[in-house]
């Protein structure tokens, strides 16, 4: 199978590509515009592989998408390209409208025209898999409620509204043109190669440098955390075995308040970096009753909550488990430990993201391997 992945240089997209190259015999065409969140260094482990090709293309560019489809002849599309940071969508929503809505429309049209020209066998096998978020559902009021595939849409931010719009477009192209589509909505991802503006990597890297650990409000927002490599497995299972026209929710069964996540990171860093000058191990022994406010935890800083901040997300992932046999392999504890350790082992990758080196070099040696555009 040849898989066209949009947004393959992003956090989740790069995990999907690494999974496909390492765990399957399929080929990958990575289509990515390389915005600030696209980092080809996340794909260095597979970038020279003969089954991997990179195309620097904006999904809003209809002519280039047409060329990509005609040249590479994909069997399936996995659409992950999106602007995804809520805070950025509040400060500048235009890019989210352009990429997430106009870009999805342009890609759907390119895929539809390509699909219509395929022979009957390939046409029947073709799939367009749209990867979305649980944020399209809004938030949950009752502590016992879960998002299901039938939960009504109630997006709260420009980001989630743009993703909800793209979901509606995909369903419309299925209903109107019979394009064989699938949709997945996932909970919060975390893991290796996560861009440092996101909560978990931000806390890890700030803590190591003794910087404030910003927490919105009181940190009471609840999220269901999904290890990115578990998500990559789920996405491949859906595009390979999912039923056309269906939606599958993907979650990690790991509901945590944001403050709990920050505390857990602090405790792992205490264990894994005892020599850090900001850890409690570097100071005089304290009374156990006072340990809560020592070491890395002293850096926690509560900041004004952002506008329209959803309080709780939680996914009911029983459908994908029941129908496709997928379940997360990582608990939150095991996944977070792997994540913290990865960042400690890859501080140079983090430094290059933070200082922008990865962007300045992308037109040089970074775009290596089987690049064809």
What CATH architecture is 2-190+226-254+312-331?
A: 3-Layer(aba) Sandwich (3.40)
Question: Which residue in the block uniquely carries the two structure tokens 């898999």?
Answer: 129
- Whether the per-residue pLDDT at 79 is higher than 60: the answer is yes
Instruction: Give me the count of residues in the chain.
Output: 373
Cα–Cα distance measured from residue 75 to residue 83, given in angstroms and rounded to the nearest whole number:
25
CB-facing half-sphere around the CA of 309: CA atoms within 13 A: 17
- Whether the per-residue pLDDT at 285 is higher than 70: the answer is no
Report pLDDT for 292. Answer: 66
Percent over 70 (pLDDT), the chain: 94
CA 162 distance to own-chain centroid: 16
Q: How confident is the model at residue 370 (pLDDT cuts 50, 70, 90)?
A: very low
**pLDDT higher for 143 or 166?**
166
Q: Indicate if the alpha-carbon torsion angle 75, 29, 103, 319 is positive or negative.
A: positive
User: What secondary structure letter does DSSP report for 169?
Assistant: H
Neighbours of 39 (CB within 10 A): 23
Q: How confident is the model at residue 368 (pLDDT cuts 50, 70, 90)?
A: very low
Report pLDDT for 373. Answer: 34
- Paired with 185 in beta bridges are 132, 249
Report pLDDT for 367. Answer: 43
Angle at 293 between CA 287 and CA 298, to 5 degrees: 135
Ranges 46-60, 124-138, 201-215, 295-309: which has the least confidence: 295-309
**What residues act catalytically?**
134-135, 159
Please state the pTM of the whole predicted model: 0.92
Cα–Cα distance measured from residue 6 to residue 21, given in angstroms and rounded to the nearest whole number:
16
Query: What separation, in Å, do the N-terminal and C-terminal C-alpha atoms of the chain show?
Result: 22
CA-based nearest residue to 294, from 312, 276, 308: 276
Mean pLDDT of the chain, nearest integer? 92
Report pLDDT for 123. Answer: 98
């Amino acid at each position: 199978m040849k898989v066209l992945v949009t947004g393959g240089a992003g956090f989740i997209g790069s995990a999907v590509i690494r999974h496909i190259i390492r765990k399957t015999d399929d080929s990958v065409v990575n289509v990515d515009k390389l915005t600030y969140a696209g980092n080809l260094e996340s794909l260095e482990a597979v970038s020279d592989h003969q089954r991997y090709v990179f195309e620097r293309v904006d999904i809003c560019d209809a002519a280039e998408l047409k060329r990509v489809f005609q040249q590479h002849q994909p069997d399936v599309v996995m659409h992950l390209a999106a602007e995804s940071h809520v805070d950025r969508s509040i400060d500048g929503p235009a890019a989210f409208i352009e990429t997430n809505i106009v870009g999805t429309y342009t890609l759907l049209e390119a895929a539809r025209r390509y699909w219509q020209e395929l022979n009957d066998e390939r046409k029947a096998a073709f799939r367009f898999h749209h990867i979305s978020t649980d944020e399209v559902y809004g938030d949950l009021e009752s502590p016992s409620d879960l998002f299901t595939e039938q939960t009504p849409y109630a997006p709260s931010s420009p980001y989630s509204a743009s993703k909800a719009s793209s979901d509606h477009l995909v369903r419309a192209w299925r209903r109107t043109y019979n394009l064989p589509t699938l949709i997945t909505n996932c909970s919060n991802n975390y893991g290796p190669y996560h861009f440092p503006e996101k909560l978990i990597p931000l806390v890890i890297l700030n803590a190591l440098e003794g910087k404030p650990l910003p927490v919105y409000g009181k940190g009471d927002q609840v999220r269901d955390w999904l290890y990115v490599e578990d998500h990559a497995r789920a996405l491949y299972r859906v595009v390979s075995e999912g039923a056309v026209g269906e939606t599958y929710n993907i979650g990690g069964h790991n509901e945590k308040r944001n403050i709990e996540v920050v505390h857990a990171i602090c405790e792992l860093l205490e264990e894994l970096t005892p020599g850090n000058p900001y850890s409690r191990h570097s100071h005089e022994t304290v009374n156990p009753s006072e340990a809560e406010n020592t070491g890395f935890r002293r850096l926690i800083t509560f900041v004004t909550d952002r506008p329209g901040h959803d309080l709780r997300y939680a996914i009911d992932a029983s459908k994908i488990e029941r129908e496709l046999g997928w379940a997360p392999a990582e608990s939150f504890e095991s996944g977070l430990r792997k994540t913290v350790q990865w960042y400690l082992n890859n501080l140079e990758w983090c430094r290059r993201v933070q200082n922008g080196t990865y962007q300045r070099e992308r037109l040089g040696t970074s775009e290596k391997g089987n690049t064809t555009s």
